[in-house]
Structure 1
Amino acid sequence: MIVVTGATGALNGATVDHLLQRVPASEVVVVARDVAAAQRFADRGIEVRHGDYADPASLPAAFAGADQLLLVSSSDPRADAVALHRHAVDAAVAVGAGRVLYTSHQGAAPGTPFGPGREHAATEELLAASGLPWTSLRNGFYAHSLDQLAGPWRETGRIVVPADGPVSWTAREDAAEAAAVILTAAVPHEGPVTLTAHSAPTFAQVAETASELTGRTVEVEVVDPEEWVAAQVAAGRPEFVARFALGMHRAAEEGFFAGVDPLLGNLLGREPRTVRDVLARPAAH
């Protein structure tokens, strides 16, 4: 039995869709905080169970019978993500899950300026100490984030950032499909595995690609970090969100997202989507 949390979200929801191309619905269970929000899976014959990381008592029954348990990471930047993840790992131990898989992030490390990277590293330590077989899916930085992080470059011709560095921008759709491949593989992947696109362009290189696509010059401007935060707040973004993004830019500058790995392409059997593919799509609104 494959038990999947977070399937009402985009990442693990897409993973479940890919799983259904590989295994019968009877072999998949979806765990959701809001069972009604997972109705599309119930309609396809998947058992839907209630489970909430913030309610530890709900988790053992939600995870029962899991040969493989895919844990989505908490996405609330204001939550104590590690405490929530600890509840999930403890429940996995309690029910004797065969293997725990966790949606981590490239560059997971205690010393990264990117807050979620520190949380992912701490969660991987919990998994390593659990005594259960585990796999950490260290996905590259999701490429759809470029729509927000690069700002309104289509209108202004400028990408304004507080720091610049290489990022292996990776399509969330590709990461979701790869997770399904890993969950159904004959031989398990052990410990951390890195799933990235095949290149890691800087924002300056992203701007070059944007210029080629649009036929007009798109430039990058690196500004003082505090001035950048102030401008983000003035534009209506909450300060905690702006500082969250600042951590990402600083981590990129320090090389935490620079590595690339062929594994994602090998799992997909094709070239992963590229930054050019992302920029060529209409901007999300």
Structure 2
Amino acid sequence: MIVITGASGQLGRLVIEALLHKLPASEIVAAVRTPAKVSDLAARGVQVRQADYTQPATLDAAFQGADKLLLISSSEVGQRVPQHRAVIDAAQRAGVKLLAYTSLLHADVSPLGLAAEHQATEALLRASGLPHVLLRNGWYTENYAASVPAALAHGVLLGSAGTGRIASAARADYAEAAAAVLTQDDQAGRVYELAGDTAYTLAELAAEITTQSGKEIAYKDLPEADYKAILLGAGLPEGLAALLADSDVGASKGGLFDDSHQLSQLIGRPTTRLATSIAPSIPKESL
């Protein structure tokens, strides 16, 4: 039995879809804070169990009988470490034989501020003695695809990544990798640095948007504080604006680059091309 935490999220749902191609639905558990959000999965035979990172008793019930568990990192930046500790502790109590954790690309040396909570979680896993595997995920291309409509509206793509190369991949690629690891033997102790097969700068992303939309889009590189201020002005919360600006600066230092091709090796195919991932963000009237 394989338990997926955060199963109602974008990555969690994709992991379950990938697992459904490999396993009977009855062997998959969707552990979610609000079970009603995954009633569609229950209708397909997936076991749905209530699991709240802040309520350990729910975790004990959700992990009962689990052989393997995927800990998808919490979306609540700043609260991740105690939440992840609760999951690790519950997995130990449940006798889980393998815990897979979605960490950050090169978390141990990453210049991104996001890395701190991942480093702390990895340390908790080492201290626990629980058999585990680290899925150090790089950037989701969807993170940048989300900025395409604004770039088209203003004729410019903004960022703070300089000429840093970003080896992103589609969220579905990372989900397939997680499913592959969870259904293979002898994974304990492994560390996977997962990233896209090809890398691009934000200037190259702007050029791709230009090609697909037919509208000239330039990339404008900004100091971190200026980029954060623009994100705040666009209505983003303080924490998210700071995170995105810091991550761009981290990319300028090589924090989102990797050319080991471990992701495509795991999934048995090339990772999704940048052009393919951003195409859905180009309005049809732009074509």
TM-score over 0.5 for the pair = yes
CA shift for structure 1 position 201: 1.2
Match of 1:109 in 2: 108
State the 1:283 CA deviation.
4.3
User: How far apart are the structure 1 equivalents of 2:229 and 2:21?
Assistant: 47
State the Cα distance separating 1:215 from its structure 2 match: 3.9
Pair 27,48 (structure 1): closer, same or farther in 2 beyond 3 Å: same
Native 8 Å contact 1:7 1:13 kept in 2: yes
1:280 aligned counterpart, secondary structure: helix
Corresponding position of 1:205 = 204
Shift of 1:173: 0.9
Q: Take 2:108 and 2:155, find their aligned partners in 1: how far apart are those partners?
A: 34
1:200, distance to aligned residue in structure 2 (A): 2.0
Unpaired runs of 5+ in structure 2? none
Aligned twin of 2:95: 96
In the TM superposition, what are the counterparts of 1:99-178 in structure 2 within 5 Å? 99-109=98-108, 112-115=111-114, 117-149=115-147, 152-164=150-162, 165-178=164-177
1:24 aligned onto 2:11: no
Distance in 2, Cα, partners of 1:149 & 1:250:
17
- Equivalents in 1 of 2:116, 2:29: separation in Å? 29
Is 1:81 matched up with 2:80?
yes
CA RMSD of aligned residues (A): 1.9
For structure 1, list consecutive stretches of 5 or more residues without a partner in the other structure. Answer: none
How many residue pairs match? The answer is: 282
Shift of residue 110 of structure 1? Answer: 6.5
TM-score by length of 2: 0.91
What residue is the counterpart of 2:266 in the other structure?
267
Give me the identity figure in percent.
35
TM-score relative to the length of structure 1: 0.92
CA apart distance, 1:41? 1.8
Give deviations 1:116-151, integer Å, cap 9, x for gaps.
x21111111111111111011111201111133466
SS at match of 2:219: strand
Whole-Å Cα distance in 1 between the matches of residues 175 and 255 of structure 2? Answer: 22
Match of 1:69 in 2: 69
Are the equivalent residues in 2 in contact too, given 1:151–1:159 (CA < 8 A)? no
**Is residue 69–residue 100 contact of structure 2 (8 Å, CA) maintained in 1?**
yes
- Runs (4+) of structure 1 exceeding 3 A deviation are 148-151, 214-217
